[in-house]
Each structure stands twice: as C-alpha cells, then as structure tokens.
Amino acid sequence: MKVLIATDKPFAKVAVDGIRKEIEAAGYELALLEKYTEKKQLLEAVKDANALIIRSDIIDAEVLNAAKELKIVVRAGAGYDNVNLEAATAHGVCVMNTPGQNSNAVAELALGLMVYAVRNFYNGTSGSELKGKKLGIHAYGNVGRNVARVAKGFGMEIYAYDAFCPKEVIEKDGAKAVDSAEELYAACDVVSLHIPATAETKNSINYALLNRMPKGAILVNTARKEVINEAELIKLMQDRPDFKYVTDIMPAANAEFAEKFTGRYFSTPKKMGAQTSEANINAGIAAAKQIVGFLKEGCEKFKVNK
Ligand code: 3PG
C-alpha cells in the first residue's frame, strides 16, 4: 500500500517524520509531493497512491480520475471544501477530515490578528486594547471554542452565534449565545469568522451584515475567503473609514484592498493559521492513523462523504 502526502504548503519536517513512522509501522510505503507548482505533478503523483494525505490541496474530479488505485483521502485539517465529495463518492473513495487537530493554532492566529489590528498594525501610533471589547465568534466549532478560551484571558466580553450548536454549550463556556448573525454583528466590536465555506455561507458576509457593527469595528477572517462578499466589503470599507479587515486568507481582490485601505487592511501572504509544528503533528499523525485504521479495519470515523 502506498500513502502519498501531497501538500502544496508542506508540513513541518517533524510532522512528516511522525507520519512516516505511523505509515511504515503499518507496513505501508510513504511518498511525498511537497510545494508542487503545477497540477500535472499532482496528477502524476496520485497515479499509484492508495491513500492520500492533503491540506488545502484541490482534489477535484480530474485528480480523482487520475488516482485509479485510491481508496481514501484524508484532509489533515478541518475544512474539506477543497475536495469534490460527489466525485470521490462516485469513485468509491472515502474522504475524511481531522477535526479539532489544528484548531488551537488557528485560534491563536485569530487573536494575533486582533492584537495587530487594535495596535494599528504596529505603526507606532497609539492603538487600543482587546480587554473590555466585545468579541463575536461566528460559528462555535472547534476553532470558535478555542478563540473563546484565549479571548477570555484577554478580558474580552464574548458573544457567539452558531445555528447548529446548542446555546447551553456556548453559555457553559461563559460566552453569551445570541439568536442570529445579525444580532451578533450589531453587538460586537470585533467579529471572528469560523464558518465553513458551503453553498449557504458563500458570500454571506455582506454589506448589510457588516454595517451593523459599531464604530471602530474589526472583522477577522481565519475561515475562508469565499464566505466574504468581497465587492460589498470593499464598498463598506469605502463608506466606513473606521472599519478594519484582517485576514489569513488573501482575498481575490487583495491588490484593491491593499491599495484602497492602507492602515486598516492586512492579509497574510499564505494561509498561516494551521501552520505550526504542533498543528502539523496533530493533524498529520491523526490523518496517518485514520488511514491505517481504515485500510486495516475499515474504520470510517470522520468520513465526510456519503
Ligand atoms: C483547515 O481547514 O484545517 C484550515 O483552514 C487549515 O488549512 P491548511 O491545512 O491549508 O493550513
């Protein structure tokens, strides 16, 4: 059995070593395709792979067609919007994610972006503090919970909205559960996005919603760029010079944001939220173990396709 790690954005070496240990202990072979620059390299590498470990790498119908021996793809991370689930099911390929394994890393980065924004991007001017500010956590999953835990240490007042999470779970963590996204945005100085990119959420962060935020608002995005209606965010930031946007996922219109909103816009050059050796080890080794469990025992825990 051949397990391929195909990562455009590589794991830390220590994580690859840990994955190799798991895979070889199971009697399988590990292959590595890192920092590939063209899709044809991926199409070539997947040809004889029985299992695949990926990150945000795009696994579409063409890749699945090329991967004739493939049985399982594990997205070492949370969001699996980069995998064509229908095509995987049609090819008889099991798709899994590794929920929770990188969420602390993403949460820490979200708080880092918040500090960066309230301190005016460290430009030497007098900024403000997170303490006492109202933080709105939009979706209370693994990352949202970690954001709440860390933000509490900063002395922030925490609000959360999640259509699928019982209010009691949120309130048990000392956060205020609100009834709608509209209510959340209207109440909070800072909103941190933790929604997945789905048909329902794409473009859902729009002018009307963001314009509910109070003066001096900050939007933090460590989720997905697709959830933002970029044209409307640009319009809003033009209309509201008080509004800041900090993101770990570069918008399609990055050049326009950077040019128009100097001093109140920042994007990491490459998504960095989960890019810590700890998160790489946690997610990578979980992926390797899930592959071994699936191939040896047929374990389908964390399967996300039908
Ligand atoms: C995730 O969905 O797990 C995060 O967005 C991290 O993605 P990455 O593995 O590409 O850094």
Which residue in the block uniquely carries the two structure tokens 């493939």?
70
Cα of 124 from ligand 1 centre, angstroms: 32
Tally of CB atoms within 10 A around 181? 20
Q: What share of the chain is helix, strand, coil (3-state, %, to 5)?
A: 40, 20, 40
Q: Cα of 56 to ligand 1 centre, how many Å?
A: 6
Q: Are residues 91 and 172 in the same domain?
A: no
Residue 287 lies in a domain: yes
Which domain CATH number covers 135? 3.40.50.720
* CA distances (Å), origin 287, targets 58, 73, 97, 142, 281: 17, 9, 8, 17, 10
Closest CA to 208 of 179, 225, 229, 238: 229
Judgement on whether residues 145 and 201 belong to the same structural domain of the protein: yes
CA–centroid distance, residue 239 to ligand 1 (Å): 32
Among 34, 146, 147, 271, the mutation site with the greatest number of ligand 1 atoms within 8 A of its Cβ is 271
Tens digit of pLDDT for each residue in 177-219? 999 999 999 999 999 999 999 999 999 999 999 999 999 999 9
Residue 227 tokens, joined:
């959830």
Question: For residue 302, is it within any domain?
Answer: no
Residue 229 corresponds to which tokens in the numbers above?
């209606």
Average pLDDT, the chain: 98
Does 305 fall in a domain? no
Same domain, 113 and 214: yes
Asked if residue 306 is part of any domain, the answer here is: no
- Say whether both 150 and 123 belong to one domain: yes
Whether 28 is in a domain gets the answer: yes
95 and 109 assigned to the same domain: no
Q: Cα of 218 to ligand 1 centre, how many Å?
A: 22
Question: Separation of 240 CA from ligand 1 center, angstroms?
Answer: 31
| Contact by Cβ (8 Å): 46, 5 | no
Confidence of residue 134 (pLDDT cuts 50, 70, 90): very high
Is 263 part of a structural domain of the chain?
Answer: yes
Supply the pLDDT for residue 88. 98
Query: Is there a single domain that holds both residue 283 and residue 253?
Result: no
- Residues at CB less than 6 angstroms from ligand 1: 9, 55-56, 77-79, 102, 271, 273-275
Domain membership of residue 50 (yes or no) is: yes
Residues 244 and 108 in one domain: yes
Asked whether 190 and 218 are in contact (CB, 8 A), the reply is yes
Q: Is residue 152 part of a domain?
A: yes
Contact between 19 and 288 under an 8 Å Cβ cutoff? The reply is: yes
Which atom of ligand 1 is the closest one to the Cα of 55? Answer: 9
Determine the pLDDT at residue 273: 98
Average pLDDT over every residue of 72-98: 98
Tell me how many domains the chain contains: 2
Q: Sorting pLDDT into bands at 50, 70 and 90, what band is 164?
A: very high
Residues 212 and 291 in one domain: no
Q: Which atom of ligand 1 is nearest to the CA of 272?
A: 11
User: What percent of the chain lies above the pLDDT cut of 90?
Assistant: 100
pLDDT of residue 74: 99
Judge if 74 and 32 occupy the same domain.
Answer: yes
156 & 238 share domain: yes
**Same-domain pairing of 58 and 137:** no
Q: What percent of the chain has pLDDT over 70?
A: 100
Range of the domain at 115: 103-267
Out of 98, 101, 102, 221, mutate this one to test ligand 1's pocket (max ligand atoms within 8 Å of CB): namely 102
Q: pLDDT, tens digit, for every residue of 216-262?
A: 999 999 999 999 999 999 999 999 999 999 999 999 999 999 999 99
Q: Residue 294, exposed/middle/buried by CB under 10 A (0-12, 13-18, 19+)? A: buried
pTM over the 0.85 mark: yes
- Indicate whether 207 and 87 sit together in one domain: no
